[in-house]
Every structure is written in C-alpha cells, then in structure tokens.
C-alpha cells in the first residue's frame, strides 16, 4: 500500500463550498478525491440487503489504496452531512459482513475538515470523527473548520489551511 491519501467529500453538491476547500487541499497534498455525491449507497441495513450498492467496492478501494483519509463535510444542522453519516453508518458493514476490510482500516490516519457558513463551529462537532477513529484503531490527525466568504477562501483561512496541511498532514506522508 502506498502512503497516499484521499479526501472524501461529503457534500450534497459536487461543486459547492466544501468542494472549494477540497480543491485547495488537493492542490497542497496531491491526494485523490472521492465525491460521495456521485456514489449510490443507502444507509445501514441490518439485513444487508444493500450489499450490492456502491459502498462495499468503495470502502474496499479506500482500504486497499490509501493510508490517510481526510473527511471533508459541510455543516448541516450542526452535524456532518447526511451523506457522510450514511458513509460512517455503513462502515458497520466492515465490522460485520466484511471484517477483512475493517481490519485493513486499522493503523490508517484520519483527519476531518468541516465547511460551514460561519467562521466558528459548535463544540462537539468533531467528536464522532475522533471517537470513530479510536473505535476503528485509526490515528486521528486533527481537524480544521473552514467557511466560504463571497464565494472565496479568505487569505486568513488559506494560511490556516496551509499550516494545518503542513503540520498535520504532509509531515506524515
């Protein structure tokens, strides 16, 4: 497995605000991008009747090819997006019907980028990411909150993003 990373974009639109941040981060890291909006997968199903949708091939590809995963999610109702939450719920498949994939996630690194309309984020937003990393045996690299002003990334935020990428992401690749 290479030490390459992937940015998993969880917005309800492919070319919105989260994508502006994702594109910026992609240029600085050279990571691949996976746009969950373009994938077709349902929420978790106890009966696994959804096992032929896009999720299992997708998580297998991620587990096989990448050692760093950056989750990039918009803030929708103080939480991660529904698409991103479905993705996390489906990781349960990797602890039940596809344990081999779940084991491969262990030891990988995870970071999170949130994108809201406000420059601040409510306490606790990052908790599901931190705790999911712990539960899955992944190393949590940290998170950064972002926002878009007048369709652009402010110079201050660009500097903060550059520092985050240099200190938390690029120094482990």
Interface positions with ligand FMN (CB under 6 A): 11-13, 16-18, 74-78, 115-118, 148
Taking the complex as a whole, the smallest distance from the CB of residue 16 to ligand FMN amounts, in Å, to 2
Task: Give CA–CA dist 153/142, Å, rounded.
Answer: 20
Nearer to ligand FMN, 18 or 29 (CB): 18
Nearer to ligand FMN, 12 or 170 (CB): 12
Taking the complex as a whole, the smallest distance from the CB of residue 120 to ligand FMN amounts, in Å, to 8
The dihedrals phi and psi of 19, each to the nearest 5 degrees, come to -65, -35
Task: Give CA–CA dist 94/88, Å, rounded.
Answer: 10
Taking the complex as a whole, the smallest distance from the CB of residue 82 to ligand FMN amounts, in Å, to 9
Decide: residue 66, CB within 10 A, 0-12 exposed, 13-18 middle, 19+ buried.
buried
Nearest residue to the partner ligand FMN, using Cβ:
16
């Amino acid at each position: 497995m290479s030490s390459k990373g992937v940015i998993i974009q969880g917005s309800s639109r492919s070319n919105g605000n989260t994508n502006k941040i994702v594109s910026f981060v992609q240029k600085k890291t050279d990571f691949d991008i996976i746009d969950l909006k373009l994938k077709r997968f349902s929420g978790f199903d106890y009966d696994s009747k959804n096992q032929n949708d896009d999720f299992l091939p997708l998580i297998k590809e991620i587990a096989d090819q990448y050692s760093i995963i950056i989750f990039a999610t918009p803030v929708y109702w103080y939480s991660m997006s529904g698409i991103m939450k479905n993705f996390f719920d489906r990781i349960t498949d990797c602890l039940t019907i596809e344990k081999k994939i779940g084991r491969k996630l262990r030891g990988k690194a995870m970071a999170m980028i949130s994108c809201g309309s406000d420059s601040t984020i409510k306490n606790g937003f990052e908790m599901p990411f931190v705790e999911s990393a712990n539960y899955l045996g992944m190393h949590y690299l940290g998170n950064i909150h972002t926002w878009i002003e007048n369709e652009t990334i402010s110079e201050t935020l660009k500097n903060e993003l550059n520092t985050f990428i240099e200190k938390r992401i690029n120094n482990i690749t």
